Amino acid sequence: MSFSIRSMQTQFSLRRPGSPNDALGGEAKRRRKAYSCTDCRRRKLKCDRAFPSCGRCSKAGNAETCVYSFMPDEADVQNASDPGQKVAVDSALHVSSRGPDMSFRAPDTTITSKLIEQDCRIQALESQVRLLEFSLNHASRLDESLIKRGQSPPHYENGLSTESEVKDQETMFFRGKGFKTQFFGASGPAIEMVHFSELQSFMTSAHPMKDTPQSNTSHLHAVRRILKRKERGLFNAPGDPSRMFDLLPTKAETDYLVRLYLDQFENAYRVLHIPTFRTEYCELWNDPQQARPCFLAILLLVLAITRPCSTIHELLFVGESSVARFKAVQWAATVEQWLESQSYKHATLEVFQIRCLLFMVKQLNIIKRKQLWSASRELANIGLTAGLHRNPNLLKDKTSPFDKEMRARLWATMVELELQASINRGFASSLANIASDCPAPLNIHDEDFHPHSTELPKSKPPHQYTRTSYLHLSQQTVHLRIALTTRINDTFTSTSFEEVLRTEEKINTCLNNIPEWPEDQIHESDRPHSRTTQALLDIQLRLFVAMFHAPFARQANSSTRYRYSRSTCLDSSSIILDYHERFLSESNFSLCLPRSDVIRAAGTICHNLFLSNTTQTSRLTPTTNAMIKQVEKALELQEQCIMRIGQGMHQYYTLSAALGVLKSAMFPKDGVDHRKEAVDRSVTLYNTILTTQDPNYVPPGADDLGEITKLNGITAEGTQSGFDVSAPLISGALELPTLQYDDLTSMWATDDFWNLGINGF
């Protein structure tokens, strides 16, 4: 990097023109005529001098702004020594004969190249204005409704509307009726499916018959209704803080889940001070009677976060929800009831830790999905009212150094959780207009400070990894990500292609600034943590690249200028899927369960490959084949997540259908087989859930176990009557009723796929 910069500086110094005073101080030197276009000369790049636009400008999509700053004459043609120069002069003479507006003559007097460039730029802008006025006056139609709403009209080029400044379709989910409606904005994870209109016909043709046996699945719907009612009742029931210790599993199981949390989650969102937590955890088992209720609450939430990620527990279900999720619901509800009884006036560090952990439990286990975004805003508002967004040094001696650092960590965690929830919901971050001067958390180890520290150690440089490296580095880009989230979800503001390219350049600069931590320089126990940190820093920036390019990628078939957007969307999505595949292969669910990157990236790949296939003569290339395999792997990753918490079946089926559409388009002769494959994939997962029901599990708050066991066909002796668990409940092809497109676009907004009211599924 340093070598290239020095080379560029040397090159600039050799080409740098003299100042205006140089022309007054001595004999004026004869200057060579500049035959390159204005943009290439300004950027110090080699120009092929082609007309009407050079190759470099045409390739970059700037053909309309490619202009030349000279008006050649016949003498130029005779004196041109370079063949390329002679061709350029000939072309320029030909162009200049068509009118004075197509090229610009440099002044005869000797002036600095900077003044020449400014003059050329002014004339180029004037030419673009004239072209725009002409195009608008001769456009076939103009959307007057946009003007009435105060919006900018579409940009017209050569009399045709382009997508450079307008969206092809407002990207959103808006469903329901009356006041029972739900809205999801443009940054939602499954928003690409809105534009995948071919899914409608595919999903309609995927059901061969409509005589699905109702007896096979009616019991699951009944169990689901009972458990949902119990879940709501559990959160509304009065709490008993004395029960928190009784809810803890065995010490061996608790030790495993705590270690799992510290290894997979605490290296990203810094909520706990690990040495302090470990000390109190050991004291808990030595003398449980002396355990503080606030610590028991923290411990229960830690277990609720990691219980679905466990690899030592059998994956069992009650209804369509996993047993692990029901345990998490029970623990979270107990803690939430205890938290509501605490005083806001006498808040402590543990109260804010509990609030952060409680939201993480709901996010990972998908508890009250429709309220997650509002819950994230409430969490951020609590931090704002406590002044966590302000510099703790303003409190002077009233706050210890330990508390100052923990305040910075908790505020950074709240910001990241709120921002991620806003992206998933498709809204601008509520922190967009909040002035915050809270410094980023220090890049230090937890062992470097403690509650009795009189001063904090110096922050380590970014290239030295600590468990706080993620929050420390993430705060450097948080304002950019908040601004990008606001812009992409702004319904009434269009983004031009040039703005997208500039945004991508900013994001790439941030990506290049992410440090790489060589494993030989990191302690062996921290090496997995550093890989997770680096992946999360990359993913949270790279997803914006795909989101901003997506509207233009959908227009790549009509304009070659936007093929770069399609390629960028595919590359970014592929990299994101690679990260998730790598971590799930290590049984690390800390990225996949709390985030929706897999569905977002896989859906983007399916749709863009489908659109690309409509214009390509080759049905399958090695790159396309590799990306199709990535989508198949993404379905496997999503299946693992469903088996962990029992949520997300609607996303799984939609992505399976999208892959079926793509394969059917590439191989039309095998279209029937691909439809059957997409349906059978969902049938297999559905049967797995039905055949792994836990008949002995009592869901939290369920005092009427007989009602549930009766519905499941379980007798008092524990055997089943008329219900064979080992046999698949649906055999052969899935017999789905017809899906309407409104149902398809509302899938993401529902709690689960069964809630669509589809008979027999």
- Residue 578: pLDDT over 80: yes
Per-residue pLDDT tens over the stretch 38-54? 878 877 788 888 877 88
* Measured distance CA(674)–CA(679) in Å, rounded: 9
CATH 4.10.240.10 is held by the domain 37-70: yes
- Residue 17: pLDDT over 60: no
pLDDT at position 241:
59
* Measured distance CA(537)–CA(471) in Å, rounded: 9
Which helix (H) or strand (E) is 580 found in, with range? helix 563-584
Kindly report each contact of residues 36-43 with a partner whose C-beta sits within 8 Å and lies 24 or more positions away, as own/partner: 36/68, 37/66, 37/67, 37/68, 38/66, 38/67, 38/68, 38/69, 38/117, 38/120, 38/121, 38/124, 39/65, 39/66, 41/69, 41/113, 41/117, 42/117
Per-residue pLDDT tens over the stretch 310-369? 999 999 888 778 999 989 988 999 999 899 888 777 889 999 999 999 999 999 999 988
CA atoms lying within 13 Å on the CB side of residue 81: 2
Which helix (H) or strand (E) is 548 found in, with range? helix 527-553
pLDDT at position 91:
42
pLDDT band, very low/low/confident/very high, at 230 (cuts 50, 70, 90): low
* Measured distance CA(754)–CA(227) in Å, rounded: 14
* Measured distance CA(304)–CA(280) in Å, rounded: 19
Q: Tell me which of 135 and 17 has the higher pLDDT.
A: 135
CA atoms lying within 13 Å on the CB side of residue 526: 21
pLDDT at position 464:
93
Q: Which of 27, 7, 29 shows the shortest CA–CA distance to 17?
A: 29
* Residue 181, strand partner residues: 176
Q: Where in the chain is CATH 4.10.240.10?
A: 37-70
- Residue 179: pLDDT over 60: yes
* Measured distance CA(131)–CA(146) in Å, rounded: 22
Tokens 């699951």, residue? Answer: 220
Quote the crossing angle between the two packed helices 563-584 and 497-512, to the nearest 10°.
30
Q: Which of 419, 427, 420, 459 shows the shortest CA–CA distance to 443?
A: 459
pLDDT at position 637:
94
* Measured distance CA(739)–CA(728) in Å, rounded: 24
pLDDT at position 537:
96
Q: Which of 138-152, 540-554, 725-739 reaches the highest mean pLDDT?
A: 540-554
Distances (CA, A) of 219 to 321, 391, 710: 14, 56, 9
pLDDT band, very low/low/confident/very high, at 136 (cuts 50, 70, 90): low
Tokens 């595949």, residue? Answer: 581
Statement: the pTM of the whole predicted model exceeds 0.75: no
Instruction: Determine the average pLDDT of the residues in 533-550.
Output: 95
Which helix (H) or strand (E) is 160 found in, with range? strand 160-161
pLDDT at position 20:
37
Per-residue pLDDT tens over the stretch 68-120? 765 444 444 444 444 444 444 444 434 333 333 333 333 344 445 556 566 66
Instruction: Determine the average pLDDT of the residues in 415-442.
Output: 94
Per-residue pLDDT tens over the stretch 250-259? 999 999 999 9
State the maximum Cα–Cα separation within the chain, in Å, rounded to a whole number: 110
- Residue 717: pLDDT over 80: no
Which alpha helices (DSSP H) does 245-371 contain, by range? 251-264, 274-286, 293-306, 323-340, 349-365
**Entry field: residues in the chain:** 761
- Residue 588: pLDDT over 70: yes
What's at 639, amino acid-wise? Answer: E
Per-residue pLDDT tens over the stretch 471-495? 999 999 999 999 999 999 988 888 8
Cis peptide before 288 (omega within 30 of 0): no
Instruction: Determine the average pLDDT of the residues in 557-574.
Output: 92
